[in-house]
Amino acid sequence: MDVAFRDPDGTTVPVAHNENDSPQAFGVVEGDRNFTYTLPGDSLATFTWPGNPGGDQGLRALDPSGWRATASPSGPTDPCCQGDVAANAVDDDAGTRYSTGAGRAPGQYLQVDFGRPEPAREVVFDTGVNLGEYPRGYTVTVSSDGTSWRTAVANGTAWPTSGRM
């Protein structure tokens, strides 16, 4: 379990809680800062770092209500993971996820329709606790009508702990 907040002075404060008996590794990325940490079982840790004037100040998470996700494939074919459908990518529930259930292949995609114009300076691909499964590359395209598309980020690579553009 985790939570992060930004104090009024710009200080970033992530707090992580490991309810399991065994250690749990995780990673944190904010702007050009990142770290990984292994939290011992049944423990809590708080991290802080000062704000970055003119940097990430003012960033906020968008409200995903009304978002719609589609994908190819729409979900895994493996019976173990058939609940990992595309809609889970935007359900604002850290306990669910979208997965293909197999290695990535050319032609696969995840498309998110915000349902309304949204200004964005950053996209975060949150892979949760699975440090081994993350988008290793991506292209971000945008459209105001769902028909005409333009490339916002031609090619990107992701951090192993979360994908950020």
pLDDT digits (tens, 9 = 90+) for 11-27: 888 889 988 899 998 88
In the chain, the amino acid numbered 143 is S
Instruction: Count the neighbouring beta carbons within 10 Å of the beta carbon of residue 77.
Output: 10
Residue 18 belongs to domain spanning: 2-46
Residue whose token pair is 């998110």? 112
The model scores a pTM over 0.85:
no
Q: Cis peptide before 117, with omega less than 30 degrees from 0?
A: no
Looking at the structure of the chain, the number of domains it has is 3
CA distance to 25, 67, 92, 94, 118, per residue, from 18 (Å): 10, 30, 20, 15, 34
Of 2-6, 15-19, 41-45, 145-149, minimum mean pLDDT range: 2-6
In the chain, the amino acid numbered 46 is T
Question: Which pLDDT tens digit goes with each residue over 105-127?
Answer: 888 888 899 888 887 777 777 66
Handedness of CA 75, 26, 14, 57 (dihedral sign): negative
3-state secondary structure of 36: strand
115 in the same domain as 66? yes
The structure tokens listed for 144 are 């105001």
Mean of per-residue pLDDT scores for the chain = 78
pLDDT at 162 over 60: no
Handedness of CA 128, 96, 77, 99 (dihedral sign): negative
Asked if residue 55 is part of any domain, the answer here is no
86 in the same domain as 126? no
40 in the same domain as 9? yes
Residue whose token pair is 């173990």? 80
Q: Greater confidence, 61 or 131?
A: 61
Asked if residue 115 is part of any domain, the answer here is yes
d(CA 121, CA 47): 25
Asked if residue 97 is part of any domain, the answer here is yes
